[in-house]
Structure 1
Amino acid sequence: MSEVALTLFLLLILFALLGSGIWVAFSLLSVGMVGMLVFTEAPLGDVLATTVWGASNSWSLAALPLFIWMGEILFRSRLSEDMFSGLSPWLTHLPGRLLHVNILGCAIFAAVSGSSAATAATIGKMSIPELSKRKYPEHMLIGTLAGSATLGLLIPPSIILIVYGVATEQSIARLFIGGLLPGLLLVGLFVGYVVIWSLANPEKIPPGETSLSFAEKIKRSRRLIPVVLLIAGVIGSIYSGIASPTDAAAVGVALSLLLSKYTGTLNMRTFFDGLMGATKTSCMIAFILAGAAFLTVAMGFTGIPKMLAVWIATLGLSPYALLGALTVFFIILGCFLDGISVVVLTTSVIMPMVEQAGIDPLWFGIFIVIVVEMSQITPPVGFNLFVIQGLTGLNILKVAYAAIPFFLLLMVALILIVAFPSIVTVLPNMMGG
């Protein structure tokens, strides 16, 4: 059987299993087993046991549940209310006014959450009622929220970057550093779009509130200070090399608990709800990673990745053509699967092609995350669209339509990092790894 036919056979099994509603982890394990049983003579039981244990017994993976728990704690705090009251006084004179609360609020929460859906839900609960009450245009309100919530995947500490780092054996700290400038680039693009749209449609933006003195603005923003210090402490300790991502995550959990206690939102119920939420999410991701690790090893035994890499090489695709094809592939896949599943499903097959094309795996990790961000606001299974639909009760197509400009801005960011790879690599190279 040729490499293409072999790949298609296993892909058909995978999509049949996923389409039947079987868990992603079980689907990955099953395809790996079929591949090994049918196409190799390797000892299936031994390989399965050692691979699953090896994938689970990773120190890098310890950062994952801790960062998720940190986000769960702050999700149950009054962080979103603090952000609205802290940010809004500074945005009165900026074209677009309080629409920027969605963008900056999502950027701040992304830096403590690592999750796109959690960012959309947390900021949306606060901003949708407030901005609707002030008569801001509905499509801009929804669009800024849908687009900006995708920052949860990119701005560190990003859960999906941890997953990519573990799956491809890349430095998680360097991936975090590499995600910083692209994250800020996206914030700048979103803010710029809102400013331009508001200048073109001034009559659609409600009048600003009464101007406040500088002292009053500072007073209203004081509740933001603990959150900013938390972000600076966690991210700064990683960038400066003082702490590993896992150490910083542990400190982040402790500081989040203190912050939640300080704001009066920590009690036994919120503590256990946050702990259980983090446990369920972490177990799901760890299980998917274990399944993906076994599929990667099974694919190695079948020789598919090597054969595909050779086949791709015979096509004579330039690195740009390969990236273009992968972008389309990831967006289509992201229409049906969540971002973490997309990453772990594809790394075993895609990475040999990427490395053969001479593409930096660290840069490619940020590339994948931006493409996955695009899929988060693409119907039919854009997770952010579903979250916002649940908050607003609007038709999913109306939510998707409002998100189109931000989908295009993500595409612009993708083109920029392809044209100027140093946007991703300059900080990790300066930090020396």
Structure 2
Amino acid sequence: MNEMMIGFILLCVLFALLASGFWVAFTLIAVSIAGMVLIGNDNFGLLFGTSTWASVSDWSLAALPLFIWMGEILFRSNLSKDLFKGLTPWLTGVPGKLLHVNILSCGIFAAVSGSSAATAATIGKMTLPELKRQGYDDKMAIATLAGSGTLGLLIPPSIILIVYGVAAEVSIGRLFMAGALPGIMLVILFMGYTAFWSYRNPDKSPQTERKYTWTEKFSSLLRLIPIGTLIFFIIGSIYAGLTTPTEAAAFGVVGSLILAATSRSLSMNTFIDSLMGAVKTSCMIIFILVGAAFLTMAMGFIGIPRMLAENIALLELSPYMLLFILTIMFIILGCFLDGISVVVLTTSIVLPMVLEAGIDPLWFGIYIVLVVEMSQITPPVGFNLFVIQSLTGRDILFVAKAALPFFFLLLSAVLIVTIFPQIVTWLPHTMSRG
């Protein structure tokens, strides 16, 4: 039985198990075992132990549970209220007004959360009721939250960038640097579209707003100092080379505990809840990484990555055509899997093709995160759609339709970084030379 036939059988097994609701980690392990059996290798027990230990004992992976815990602590603090009150006075004169609070709050919170779902849930709990009370268009309020909630995947520190860095053996610190400018670009795209929509639909925004004095505006900035300081320290220390991502994550946990304590939202119950939330999320992600490591090893024994790389080379596809095909594949996978599962499931198979085509794996990491961001607002399994549905009680199709313009904005961001890859690579290359 050749590699092509084995690959087809394993693909059928993979989709059958996923369609049945089988856990992603167990599915990856089951497919790996099936592949080893098909090639007559019965040492999969020993191979599972050796391959998985190496995948989860990488020290850089220690940043993962720490950043998740930091996000869980801040999720339970009064940070989101301070963000809203600190940004509101500055946005009442901008077309779109308080709709921009969704975008900027998500961008700021993403820089300390690293989680798309946590970003959308935290900001949405506070902004959506206030926007509805003031008479903003419900559909646009949901759209801005769904779209900008995905920033948690890209703006560093990003959990999914840590996962990709470990899987692809790319520096996590350099990935964090590479994600900064594309993240800022997305915020600008989202705010630009929101301002344009508001200009074209003036009847869907409240016309009477409270006027703030300059004194009130500058005093409101005091609410942003704590979170701004935490962001500056975490990201700045990594960019300056003063700390590794793991060390910065540890300091971030301490900083988030101090913020929660000073805002009087830290109690024994919230501390335990944040710790348990971080443990559950970390275990889920690491278990998926274990399955993905075993699948990577099994695919290597079978020879599927080599076969795919050779076939891609024979097709003589241009890098742009390869990226076009991969984009379609990632979007389809994102309709059925969460972002982290997409990354760990595909990296070992796709990366040889990417390297064969001469594509920078650092740039590819940001590209894949942008495409995964698109899948977060793509039905039927867009995680952000489910989060917002639970917040609003709206039908999932209504939420998906509302988020559609932001899907196309994310698609345009993919095109921009493909045409101008320097947006991704300039900062890490500049910092490494410095």
Q: TM-score range by the shorter chain?
A: over 0.9
Write out aligned runs for 1:192-341 (5 A): 192-341=192-341
Letter in 1 for 2:369: V
Letter in 1 for 2:28: L
Q: Distance between the aligned counterparts of 1:402 and 1:45, measured in 2?
A: 48
Partner of 1:148: 148
Partner of 2:78: 78
Deviation per CA, 1:158-204, whole angstroms, max 9, x where unpaired?
Answer: 00000000011110000000000000000000000011111112222
Q: Distance between the aligned counterparts of 2:175 and 2:148, measured in 1?
A: 20
How far off is 1:321 after superposition?
A: 0.6
Partner of 2:391: 391
Partner of 1:105: 105
Q: Distance between the aligned counterparts of 2:176 and 2:40, measured in 1?
A: 38
Matched, 1:20 2:25: no
Partner of 1:48: 48
Number of aligned positions between the proteins: 433
How far off is 1:40 after superposition?
A: 4.8
Q: Distance between the aligned counterparts of 1:198 and 1:44, measured in 2?
A: 59
Letter in 1 for 2:371: V
Q: Distance between the aligned counterparts of 1:212 and 1:380, measured in 2?
A: 42
Partner of 1:162: 162
Matched, 1:431 2:431: yes
Bigger mean CA offset, 307-316 vs 216-225 = 216-225
Whether the 8 Å contact between 2:6 and 2:38 is mirrored in structure 1 is no
Q: Distance between the aligned counterparts of 1:335 and 1:256, measured in 2?
A: 34
Whether the 8 Å contact between 1:4 and 1:308 is mirrored in structure 2 is no
- Cα RMSD after superposing both structures: 1.1
Whether the 8 Å contact between 2:3 and 2:302 is mirrored in structure 1 is no
How far off is 1:42 after superposition?
A: 6.9
How far off is 1:3 after superposition?
A: 3.0
Write out aligned runs for 1:90-129 (5 A): 90-129=90-129
Partner of 2:186: 186
How far off is 1:397 after superposition?
A: 0.7
Q: Distance between the aligned counterparts of 1:102 and 1:206, measured in 2?
A: 16
Letter in 1 for 2:333: L
How far off is 1:211 after superposition?
A: 2.1
Bigger mean CA offset, 26-35 vs 62-71 = 26-35
Letter in 1 for 2:82: D
Partner of 1:59: 59
1:264 is paired with a residue whose SS is coil
Q: Can you give the 5+ residue segments of structure 2 that lack an aligned partner in the other structure?
A: none
Whether the 8 Å contact between 2:80 and 2:126 is mirrored in structure 1 is yes
2:36 is paired with a residue whose SS is helix
Q: Percent identity?
A: 64
Q: Distance between the aligned counterparts of 1:311 and 1:176, measured in 2?
A: 33
Q: Distance between the aligned counterparts of 1:238 and 1:28, measured in 2?
A: 33
Whether the 8 Å contact between 1:93 and 1:208 is mirrored in structure 2 is no
Whether the 8 Å contact between 2:186 and 2:410 is mirrored in structure 1 is yes
Structure 1 length as normaliser, TM-score?
Answer: 0.98
Q: Distance between the aligned counterparts of 2:381 and 2:410, measured in 1?
A: 18
Letter in 2 for 1:396: I
Bigger mean CA offset, 55-64 vs 27-36 = 27-36
Q: Distance between the aligned counterparts of 1:163 and 1:316, measured in 2?
A: 30
Partner of 2:411: 411
Whether the 8 Å contact between 2:98 and 2:131 is mirrored in structure 1 is yes
How far off is 1:7 after superposition?
A: 1.2
1:149 is paired with a residue whose SS is helix
Partner of 1:382: 382
How far off is 1:431 after superposition?
A: 1.1
Whether the 8 Å contact between 1:40 and 1:302 is mirrored in structure 2 is no
Letter in 2 for 1:300: G
Partner of 1:367: 367
Matched, 1:345 2:359: no
1:243 is paired with a residue whose SS is coil
How far off is 1:32 after superposition?
A: 1.1
Letter in 2 for 1:215: T
How far off is 1:15 after superposition?
A: 1.4
Q: Distance between the aligned counterparts of 2:207 and 2:260, measured in 1?
A: 34
Q: Distance between the aligned counterparts of 1:211 and 1:5, measured in 2?
A: 68
Deviation per CA, 1:357-376, whole angstroms, max 9, x where unpaired?
Answer: 11100100000000000000
How far off is 1:43 after superposition?
A: 3.0
Letter in 2 for 1:269: N
Letter in 1 for 2:226: P
Letter in 1 for 2:162: I
Q: Distance between the aligned counterparts of 2:57 and 2:108, measured in 1?
A: 32
How far off is 1:208 after superposition?
A: 4.7
